Amino acid sequence: MAARNKARKRAFQILFEAEQRGAEPKTVMADWIRLARTDDRQPPVTEYTMQLVEGYQAHAERIDELLSGYAVGWTLDRMPVVDRNVLRLGAYELIWEDDVPDAVVLDEAVQLAKEFSTDESPSFVNGLLGRLMELKPTLKR
């Protein structure tokens, strides 16, 4: 598995855990980092994982606003927790990480949805992130 692929997966897991615990993603990430120092079974938190988690947290309000605004027929609260966090991570990377090709962001998000969510989730994730990709030049603020 490529390094960035692993980093995305860990960032998703941190965002998911943070939501489940009602904690800030940076707090959960710090817990993961501490645990990795003492437990060989805990995967390391790489620089790119940190970049994704911190980047998402810095833009969380705007990301949730975009997802709410462009998710046809779905409120953010009604989305499955897995989908919501895959979308949050994908939206951050799509809009604010300029060194990653858009197609890679979409493909990686769809793969996370396939691995962790429902059968319908990959097409939902692809459709919503695809819409954000089309509108990308107008979305940053």
CA dihedral of 37, 105, 90, 108, whole degrees rounded to 10? -60
**Spatial contact of 119 and 82, defined as CB atoms under 8 Å apart:** no
Query: Which stretches within the chain are classed as H helix?
Result: 3-21, 25-38, 47-70, 81-96, 102-116, 121-139
One-letter identity of residue 47: E
Nearest by Cα to 102 from 78, 72, 137, 74: 137
pTM: 0.94
Per-residue model confidence as pLDDT tens digits over 52-101: 999 999 999 999 999 999 998 889 999 999 999 999 999 999 999 999 99
